[in-house]
């Protein structure tokens, strides 16, 4: 089981949290694509060291898919990365080697009319839904 630390005063944001949950519910497809990408490309480690903000931008750069900050955090939690939820840019336990590998994929030549990684994301999403 993954332990999550909640920031002090978080209970005061219940109304904002409810609004965020509604927005997130409308983003299921994006969450699933993000889950598929992170599960496929980023290895989990015990110690939360990488900011979700930086990893979100790495994913956007390699896939061409824009995701909101909340969607990325939700996807990382779904995948099960260890985290410490005590600061705005949630640190997750993600492998340096796998993140560097993903960063090297940034900036590759894009095929016109196709975002990079689309085929791979669709394939990973299908595997995730099938439970493979």
pTM of the model: 0.61
Query: Residue 40 to residues 20, 33, 107: CA-CA distances in angstroms?
Result: 26, 10, 19
pLDDT at 56: 93
Question: Is the confidence at residue 128, as pLDDT, over 60?
Answer: yes
Q: Please report whether residue 64 resides in a domain.
A: yes
CA distance 11 to 17: 9
Q: What is the mean pLDDT of residues 84-113?
A: 77
Domain that holds residue 45: 28-130
Q: Please report whether residue 2 resides in a domain.
A: no
Q: Please report whether residue 116 resides in a domain.
A: yes
Residue pLDDT, tens place only, 106-124: 655 344 455 556 667 777 7
Q: What is the mean pLDDT of residues 86-99?
A: 90
Q: Please state the domain count of the chain.
A: 1
Q: Please report whether residue 55 resides in a domain.
A: yes
Q: Please report whether residue 21 resides in a domain.
A: no
Cβ–Cβ under 8 Å, residues 55 and 92: yes
Higher pLDDT, 39 or 6: 39
Q: Please report whether residue 57 resides in a domain.
A: yes
Residue pLDDT, tens place only, 23-76: 656 678 889 999 999 999 999 999 998 999 999 999 998 888 899 988 999 999
Instruction: Show the 3-state SS of the chain.
Output: CCCCCCCCCHHHHHHHHHHHHHHHHCCHHHHHHHHHHHHHHCCECCCCCEEHHHHHHHHHHHHCCCCCHHHHHHHHHHHCCCECCCCCCCEECECHHHHHHHHHCCCCCCCCCCCCCHHHHHHHHHHHHHCC
Q: Please report whether residue 59 resides in a domain.
A: yes
CA distance 107 to 117: 12
Q: Please report whether residue 11 resides in a domain.
A: no
């Amino acid at each position: 089981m993954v332990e999550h630390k909640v920031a002090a005063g978080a209970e005061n944001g219940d109304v904002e949290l409810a609004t965020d949950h509604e927005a997130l519910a409308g983003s299921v497809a994006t969450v699933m694509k993000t889950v598929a990408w992170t599960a496929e490309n980023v290895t989990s480690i015990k110690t939360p060291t990488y900011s979700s903000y930086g990893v979100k931008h790495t994913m956007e750069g390699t896939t061409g898919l824009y995701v909101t900050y909340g969607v990325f955090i939700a996807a990382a939690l779904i995948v099960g990365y260890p985290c410490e939820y005590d600061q705005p840019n949630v640190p997750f336990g993600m492998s340096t080697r796998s993140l560097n590998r993903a960063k090297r994929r940034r900036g590759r030549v894009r095929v016109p009319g196709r975002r990079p990684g689309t085929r791979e994301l669709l394939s990973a999403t299908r595997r995730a839904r099938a439970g493979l």
